[in-house]
C-alpha cells in the first residue's frame, strides 16, 4: 500500500497536501480506493462551499459500495477536479496525483498539524 511521507492523513482515509500557495489539495488514500473497489462515480463538493473539519463534502460510488467524502481540515473549496466527472477511475489509478478531489483554502493552516503523519496513518491501516 502506498502511503506518501509528505502528506497528512485523516482517520476517514483522506489525504492533504499543502501546496506552495498554502492551499490544501485533498483526495482519498490508496487504502480507501482499494477498499472501495472500482470507482464509477464521484460527487464533488461545490466550489465556494465552506466546511468544518469532518463534514461530508461529497461521495464516491464504486462497484462495491457508496462512501462519503469527508473534509480533513476546515476550509472553503476553491477548485474541484472536474476530470473525475468523466474519468472517476482516476481515483483508483492515481489517488495521490490525477485522482485528487478538491483544493481548499484552509480556515487555519496550522490545523493540518492535527492530522496524522504517514507513520501514524500506516499504523491505523495495519491495525
Spatial distance between the Cα atoms of 37 and 106, rounded to a whole number of angstroms: 30
For residue 97, what is its C-alpha cell? 496525483
Q: Which fold has domain 8-115?
A: OB fold (Dihydrolipoamide Acetyltransferase, E2P) (2.40.50)
Tens of pLDDT, residue by residue over 94-126, are 999 999 999 999 999 889 999 999 999 999 999
Tens of pLDDT, residue by residue over 46-101, are 999 999 999 999 999 999 899 999 999 999 999 999 999 999 999 999 999 999 99
State which H helix or E strand residue 106 sits in: strand 102-106
Q: Per-residue DSSP letters for 1-65?
A: ----TT-EE-TTSEEEEE-TTS-EEEEE-HHHHHHH-SEEEEEPPPTT-EE-TT-EEEEEEESS-
Q: What is the structure's pLDDT at 36?
A: 93
Give residues with Cβ within 8 angstroms of 82, minimum separation 6.
44
List the chain domain ranges. Answer: 8-115
Cell 482519498 -> residue: 28
Amino acid at each position: 500500500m502506498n502511503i506518501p511521507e509528505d502528506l497528512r492523513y485523516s482517520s476517514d482515509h483522506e489525504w492533504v497536501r499543502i501546496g506552495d500557495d498554502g492551499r490544501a489539495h485533498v483526495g482519498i488514500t490508496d487504502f480507501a480506493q482499494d477498499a472501495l473497489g472500482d470507482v464509477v462515480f464521484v460527487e464533488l463538493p461545490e466550489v465556494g462551499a465552506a466546511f468544518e473539519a469532518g463534514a461530508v463534502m461529497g461521495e464516491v460510488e464504486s462497484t462495491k459500495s457508496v462512501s462519503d467524502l469527508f473534509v480533513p481540515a476546515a476550509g472553503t473549496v476553491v477548485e474541484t477536479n472536474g476530470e473525475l466527472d468523466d474519468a472517476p477511475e482516476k481515483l483508483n489509478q492515481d489517488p495521490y496525483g490525477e485522482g485528487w478531489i478538491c483544493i481548499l483554502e484552509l480556515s487555519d493552516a496550522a490545523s493540518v498539524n492535527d492530522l496524522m503523519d504517514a507513520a501514524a496513518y500506516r499504523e491505523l491501516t495495519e491495525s
